[in-house]
Amino acid sequence: MYEITGSQEEKYNYDDDDDITPIPYCIVYNKGYNWYTNYQTKRLVRIANGTEVVIMPHDEKGKVLVRAERQFLLIPENEILVVGYN
């Protein structure tokens, strides 16, 4: 059993038998640089090809909410490449 203590005195216990789903490695797949909308500020942000992203749960038609470079972005589904597990 592992015990992790958070900064707010929260304790999480993980047993070796717990099912923890790994997150697949995803990147932005476009040519060069492209501009995407920052979900929080609604401003455009320039992101390079090959930037690692983490897909977040969100329901947006045609776009996916991702976490990239310390910000949340809306990126078209066809510009995200799921590389797999490393």
The CATH number, out of the four listed (2.30.30, 3.90.320, 1.20.120, 2.40.128), of the domain defined by the range 22-84: 2.30.30
**Model confidence at 51, in pLDDT bands (50, 70, 90)?**
very high
Buried b (16+ CB within 10 A) or exposed e, 52-67: ebebeeeeeeebbbbe
What is the model's pLDDT at position 1? 43
pTM, to two decimals? 0.69
Counting residues of the chain whose pLDDT is more than 90, the rounded percentage is 53
